[in-house]
């Protein structure tokens, strides 16, 4: 019974996310990922991981786990069901004093089990005029622990206007989710160089300003 309820809830979330955003998915030249990977995306709305998860083909969606804050998704029976059962999220305690498990180990174990991850290296929603906030070091430590894992940049465009901060009812607008070609960490690559390269790859997927000529 619970499995049927979980499947039904997942279908409703996918249909709702696609309907509200009229989302257009742009895949990389190399096509769909062929192995478990880390999808890393820009973060400007609380609906970001839902939309990335929803646009994945069913086969990839079933093996993909968003990385999300435990404090939010464990606060009630409903959110626990959606976060743990529907999304099968890797739930990370944001407050260090509340952590029982090491976040890097949690994510590495999910990769070892054959899952892909959706994560946001900025660490928090970007409410500034800058295209990206500085990346936190977590993605570097994770990929240093699992260097054979592909990193797939994902740019989410317009969702912050569909789900603006403080609003409950979404505003129907067209969104795009653009996937880049997979990347790998370079042997002996330092943290700063790695994070800068990941930021550059992500920004390369963002829409070009009108009249830029690019």
pLDDT-derived band at 12 (thresholds 50, 70, 90) equals very high
C-alpha to C-alpha distance for 110 and 93, rounded to whole angstroms: 16
Sheet holding 24-26, edge to edge: 24-26, 176-179, 150-157, 37-41, 116-119, 64-69, 90-92
What average pLDDT score do residues 146-154 get?
97
**Residue 125 predicted with pLDDT over 90:** no
Q: Which two tokens stand for residue 151?
A: 């990193």
Q: pTM (2 decimals)?
A: 0.90
What average pLDDT score do residues 148-167 get?
79
Q: Are 50 and 13 in contact (CB under 8 A)?
A: yes
Stronger pLDDT, 214 or 113, i.e. the higher one:
113
What average pLDDT score do residues 181-186 get?
96
Full set of structural domains in the chain with CATH: 2-203 (3.40.1130.10)
What average pLDDT score do residues 191-204 get?
97
pLDDT digits (tens, 9 = 90+) for 19-59: 888 899 999 988 899 899 999 999 988 789 999 999 999 99
Pairing of β 37-41 and β 150-157: parallel
């Amino acid at each position: 019974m619970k499995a049927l309820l979980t499947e039904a809830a997942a279908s409703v979330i996918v249909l709702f996310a696609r309907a509200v955003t009229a989302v257009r998915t742009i895949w990389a030249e190399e096509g769909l990922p062929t192995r478990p990977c880390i999808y890393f995306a820009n973060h400007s709305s609380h609906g970001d991981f839902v939309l990335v998860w929803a646009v994945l083909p069913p086969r990839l969606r079933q093996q993909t786990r968003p990385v999300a804050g435990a404090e939010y998704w464990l606060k009630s029976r409903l959110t626990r069901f959606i976060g743990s059962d529907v999304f099968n999220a890797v739930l990370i305690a944001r407050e260090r004093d509340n952590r029982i498990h090491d976040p890097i180990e949690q994510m590495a174990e999910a990769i070892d089990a054959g899952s892909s991850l959706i994560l946001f290296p900025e660490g928090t929603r970007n409410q500034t005029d800058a295209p990206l906030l500085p990346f936190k070091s977590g993605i570097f430590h994770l990929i240093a622990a699992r260097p054979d894992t592909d990193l797939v940049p994902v740019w989410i465009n317009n969702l912050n206007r569909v789900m603006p901060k403080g609003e409950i009812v979404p505003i129907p607008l067209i969104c795009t989710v653009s996937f880049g070609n997979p990347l790998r960490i370079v042997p002996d690559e330092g943290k700063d160089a790695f994070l800068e390269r990941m930021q550059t790859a992500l920004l390369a997927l963002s829409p070009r300003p009108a009249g830029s000529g690019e």
